[in-house]
Structure 1
Amino acid sequence: MREVTEEELKYVEFWENEYLQQIYYLLKLDKQKMLDGFNTKEEIKNDWVAYLGDNTSSFATGSERIFYWLFNQLGKPNSSPVGSDMFFETYNAYIHIDIKTVTLGNIGDFSRNIFVGDNQNSYIGNINVKNKPIRPYKGHLPTFYTKNDGTKKVCLTYFITILYNESNLDIQTIVIMCMPNGLLSKVYGDDIINPGKNPGKIRYAYPKSSMFKLLPDTPKRIKVLLWKKDINLKIEMKMKFIKEIYNEQID
């Protein structure tokens, strides 16, 4: 396999950043529409509240419906069974967007890293576990997709993570992040993939790849779409890294 040039790596990062901005501004423009969508559950609350807690993924399911609605103009949906919750094709890229929901009771699943499925990333590296042999890792997504006609399009991976109060479904923060394409493993190394709870699985240590290293002015790979104004101080301290990014945002 030939060596990937720095210009090719910069190309990947350029489009990772371009689509991160597009996703962020699309949602920011429709922020009230998004929040109104989240609140539609309240209109029929008496019909589901008795079952809250029986299925912890219920909030995730509802959130996915709202984002599908908001992203209907992002690109052409793709039906591949291997991919993220949302998978779109644009004129020059294939975009994976996975929605992740984390409760306050499990805030540790968000504060330092997030779970990433093999079908949700193209990263290539090594999982380093203390006092154990190094485990090679390769996500199931390609770094570039190749269509039947030979056309190649870069594979881009994004996560929208929602932290919410499981007792009342009150949203604390919504964060959009871009995980580096597998070709960029030579830039970001093994530090950004932490061992998951199960052997061979990973967690994405997003604070260790918080910037686009190859782009001018190193813009952030993370955008904070929402931060609750009266968030509990203990939560704010645990999410200090995200709060700092939120404070730095000028748009």
Structure 2
Amino acid sequence: VNVIADQVGFGLHTAWGAVILAAGAVGAVIACIRRPALHVPLVALTVGSGLMVGTHFRLIPRYYFQITPFVLLYAAFAVIAVVDVVVGALPERSTPSRSDGRDHAQTGVWRSVVGWGLAVVLMAALLPAKVNGLRQQIDDIQAANGTDVPQYGPDHPQLQAIFGAVEGETRADDVVGFFRARLMTLYTDRRTLQTTNLEVMARNADYYAMRKNSVYSQPAVTDLGAARYGMTAVWQDANWILWRFEDVHDAAAEAPGGAGVPDPGLDL
């Protein structure tokens, strides 16, 4: 709700997001009733995408870009439907209608023009706030670029250090555990496993590139856990440790409790 409100220019306001979603839901129902062959697949795509994105383990606003346009489209349909109802409730003119039905046709066209016009005006009213927000973001980025300090990302020296260590310490066919699997594969050409379960990593990976002082999207390692899974630190710096799993399958099977039983001392 907050993400959709922010993407259309209202900022992180739950109330506005709820209004937009409610209007979109009403418009979707109306559209499916009027033209089911066209809109049922689109609504199914929108709802399905929303379920997949909304149930992700963390909030990623950019994933909602595929949903927001459809929500706004059906919100516009709801506005048009409201105009249609209001116009239909107005008293008819006292002059007799033409027998050829032109008055009725003209009324229908007028309803459509007013409905779409109002929807367009409402959408256009959102642009200034969104444009101002984008300008502020651009200014912030340019100010950061002017400091000559690299932004934290794949090319930051901290991340390049662990990529270099992985390339230097591992073989081309090794599997590396890392909190951003696609990133590690892109920069090192190593197969990568992303999981928060240390036991799963020990069974399927040869190395674990662990970020120090963090449990974000990665498993923590205790002394007991390192001993249980035969983990040896082969490289480290101030930010990273590159662990190697020594005979991981045998170590897991021979550890107290047997294979498949997580150690209570582990933060999995």
Would the TM-score normalized by the shorter structure come out above 0.5? no
| Greater relative contact order structure (CA < 8 Å, 6+ sep) | 1
TM-score normalised by the chain length of structure 1: 0.24
Structure showing greater Rg: 2
TM-score normalised by the chain length of structure 2: 0.23
